[in-house]
Amino acid sequence: MDVYPTVKLRAVSPPFRSFVLVSREQIARNFRAVRAVVGPGVEVAGVVKADAYGHGALEVSRVLLAEGARWLAVSSVDEAVQLRCGGILEPRILVMGGFLDFETDAIVDHDLTPVVHSIDQLRQIDQLAAASGKAIRYHLKIDSGMGRLGTRASADEIVAALSATTRAELEGLMTHFASAADYTSAQTAEQLDYFHSVCRRLDAAGIRPTHLHTSSTIAIAYGRSEGWHTLVRAGHALYGYVSPARGEAPASALKVAPALTWKARLLAVKDLPEGALIGYGGTYRAPRPMRVGILGAGYADGIFHRLSNRGKVIAAGKLTPILGTISMDLTTIDLSHTTALGPGDEVTLLGGEGESSLDAQQIARVAGTISYNILCSISSRVRRVYI
């Protein structure tokens, strides 16, 4: 079932006080852009973890399947099961965050492809295949230098463990880059060298997985093609974002655009005198008579508290400041520039309006975080509307 209640509309403004509009066609265009960059010889897995970065995993998965995607990637078994139960039955689903003991039955029941992160897990998945009578396919993750999930076992230890397992099928070998956008660092080249050394040792032992994959959006965008292999994992790019690079990086080859617009409605508009205090703690004092608007969205909806007295929204086509401390359910904004808006009218929190725009990267810079965090923090009570 859907994680978020959803509505599918075309032109009618949805009757919600806070909502996001998700463009199916823009997600499709972004997916096509990734495929065009990597070429026909490389499979593209659509990363729909974290409910497709807040865009809605079920609906995004449907769009990707319509575009011919054969692989989806999630973080957990639970996320994968939600997709299967929501009718996403055909594609392979790669569970990148591995599995815990109580999740093994679900791997079998829902035909999932787990990522294995240790020699012990490799043996466990082989035992699961034997007990279930099914040839479970899995991908083995190598910790090539990020220090998170993935095995640090030597290539010889991996070969020995694989030789001792006969029921589960090693379908893929993978790793994850820690600094793909940082061209001042040699870490990506070092990780790739380590990964390739493991691949060569396995190949010498006659172990040749169908898929090798190391690259996500950043390595795709900046043309680190030596890491594309047979499969890439596109996440952030599907939703319209490529993180900026550091150092002497090539121009991004990916031409993508945000697929999500976030809006909230005004609950009230009022005039305040000079000197009036606004919000908890009176952190903003009106320097002059001001017209203010109170939005029906706050930090419980995903507007970062750190945007208090710092962030902006778009009202009547113009960027305008957030005033005072953001509340759980409400945010106050400056409407001194317009008399056109009243209760019930929409204000844009993320997206474009008139000649003004705010994307997740711009908001993240002000909030002191990253664009992924902005998108993933839009809460479940913000209604998703697909257009």
User: What are the backbone angles phi and psi of residue 356, rounded to the nearest 5°?
Assistant: -105, 150
31 and 238 Cβ atoms separated by less than 8 Å: yes
Encode burial over 145-179: b for 16+ CB neighbours within 10 A, e otherwise. beeeebbebebeebbebbeebebbbbbbbbbbbbb
Chain centroid to CA 147: 21
| Amino acid (1-letter code) at residue 324 | G
| Amino acid (1-letter code) at residue 228 | W
Residue 290, token pair as written in the block: 């001001």
* Environment class of 62 (CB within 10 Å of its CB; exposed 0-12, middle 13-18, buried 19+): middle
CB 310: neighbour CB atoms within 10 A? Answer: 13
Runs of H (alpha helix) within the chain:
24-38, 49-53, 57-66, 77-85, 104-109, 119-132, 155-163, 187-204, 217-221, 360-367, 371-376
Distance CA 284, CA 52 (A): 36
Catalytic choice (4, 49, 263, 312): 49
CB 286: neighbour CB atoms within 10 A? Answer: 18
Residue 267, token pair as written in the block: 């609950």
Tell me, yes or no, if 49 is annotated catalytic: yes
Catalytic choice (4, 138, 280, 312): 280
Distance CA 348, CA 18 (A): 10
201 and 156 Cβ atoms separated by less than 8 Å: yes
Catalytic residues: 49, 280
